[in-house]
Structure 1
Amino acid sequence: MEVSKGNKRKKKKANQIPVGIGLLIIIIILGYLIKNLGTKHPMSWLLGILLGFTLRNSRFCFTASLRDPVLTGGTSLSKAVIITIALATIGFAAIQYGAYIEGTSIPGNISPSGVHIAIGAFMFGIGMVIAGGCASGTLMRVGEGFMMQWLSLIFFIIGSLWGAKHFGFWENTFMNRGKEVFLPDVLGWFPALILQFGLLLSLYILADRFGNKNN
């Protein structure tokens, strides 16, 4: 069986180094130009660039972390999300405990829990699977040129603005009827952290075993 010459030919990859250098120069120039707006703007610009680069190369997406175990059996992203939450827990707990020791108000929002969270999570879960990405995944793929994600981003913005406009109605009708639960107030700081990390560790072990079983 003959193999056509066209199949043997390999497409020569374009040299992207000049493009990368050009983009780096543009990023530096823009960061310098916005410094007059405030010192935090160049830092936010740099942080956004680094975050986008990290998301792009890691393919990090909350949607995929919940979707892949069901569709493909892969749990790599699921375990990555669990580790991320664990690291965030350490940082937030340190900041909040520091405020608690100093006797100042604890930073962060403690929102009431209730049926509205379950309904909202269910609707958002369906929406992000159909759209093919959560907020971070959508922004990442918009930068990659996926036109479907442009459509998702547009309606993401419309829905957010619509929700913000009527937020008072939802807050007074549903959200405020729930109960605020801050685990350190209920269990104490140390038991609350033990419970948090215990649940995360259990989820990690479960995801790891599920992934190994399917692979």
Structure 2
Amino acid sequence: MTKTNNSQPSPKERSSSRISKNRNANKNQMPLGIAVLVIMIIIGFLLSNISVKLGLFWITGICFGFVLQKSRFCFTASMRDPYLTGGTALTRAVLIAFAITTIAFTAIKFSAYSSGLPIPGQTYITPISFATVIGAFMFGIGMVIAGGCTSGTLMRVGEGFLVQMLTLFFFIIGSLWGAHDFEWWKLNFILKGKAIFLPDLFGWFGAVIIQLLLIAALYILADKWENRIFK
């Protein structure tokens, strides 16, 4: 009686085979990665010869994209994941970023204010009205359907996602259309709201404390939400 030999690989062998294939794929991509790096450096030098700002923008954009891609940081996911998956890691990361920028921007603005200089960024304090709510709601729907906001879309376009390329195309069209009609929207809707600058209402220190307390409350809520979902 002959004994049949089972030729099927074990799970451990299959896992080793997959790891080996991934390593070979990474080795094959190494020359391409080096070529892309050289091209980026050359473009950076060419842009710097035209304008120092262009070179700085190029380097900053590449670094920002690298951080986004490696961290998978996306504002859409931070708002969407608590509802779809229950995870709030990105939500809490965004809240921490808001807390840091709150302190940093307040320091910059208060320094200018205390020195009697014009406060930077005041032109970006726009009126809040019902149009803001409608716009945020529409933009939120679009972000979820598209699978990313501006930062997430640009990052995934760099990764080669075809759907995100389509999203970017219509994002550009919508932005151009919005810029063309912006003055009409501003005159008929936006300016009918009220501009709110928290330091005018609560003072500089009070405004920072209120905003940080609100961010802390949202952070605790996000943490409790994730613990409740995965408990």
Provide the TM-score with structure 2 as the length reference: 0.88
Of 34, 39, 49, which aligns to 2:47? 34
Corresponding residue number in structure 2 for 1:172: 187
| CA distance in structure 2 between the aligned counterparts of 1:6 and 1:52, rounded to whole angstroms | 40
Instruction: Compute the displacement of 1:92 (Å).
Output: 1.1
Instruction: Compute the displacement of 1:195 (Å).
Output: 0.2
Of 120, 132, 153, which aligns to 2:147? 132
Corresponding residue number in structure 2 for 1:105: 118
Instruction: Compute the displacement of 1:101 (Å).
Output: 1.0
Structure 2 unaligned spans of 5+ = 1-5
Instruction: Give the 3 Å change call, closer, same or farther, for CA 89–36 of structure 1 in structure 2.
Output: same
2:53 is aligned with 1:44: no
| CA distance in structure 2 between the aligned counterparts of 1:105 and 1:66, rounded to whole angstroms | 35
| Greater gyration radius | 2
Corresponding residue number in structure 1 for 2:220: 205
Q: In angstroms, what is the RMSD of aligned CA positions? A: 1.5
Aligned residues: 214
Instruction: Give the 3 Å change call, closer, same or farther, for CA 3–161 of structure 1 in structure 2.
Output: farther
Amino acid at match of 1:156: F
2:148 is aligned with 1:144: no
Instruction: Give the 3 Å change call, closer, same or farther, for CA 27–103 of structure 1 in structure 2.
Output: same
Of 129, 134, 137, which aligns to 1:114? 129
Of 197, 213, 216, which aligns to 1:182? 197
2:21 is aligned with 1:12: yes
2:38 is aligned with 1:25: yes
Instruction: Compute the displacement of 1:106 (Å).
Output: 1.4
Percent identity of paired positions between Structure 1 and Structure 2: 55
| CA distance in structure 1 between the aligned counterparts of 2:129 and 2:66, rounded to whole angstroms | 36
Provide the TM-score with structure 1 as the length reference: 0.95
Instruction: Give the 3 Å change call, closer, same or farther, for CA 3–116 of structure 1 in structure 2.
Output: farther
Instruction: Compute the displacement of 1:3 (Å).
Output: 7.3
Structure 1 unaligned spans of 5+ = none
Corresponding residue number in structure 2 for 1:69: 82
| CA distance in structure 2 between the aligned counterparts of 1:208 and 1:172, rounded to whole angstroms | 41
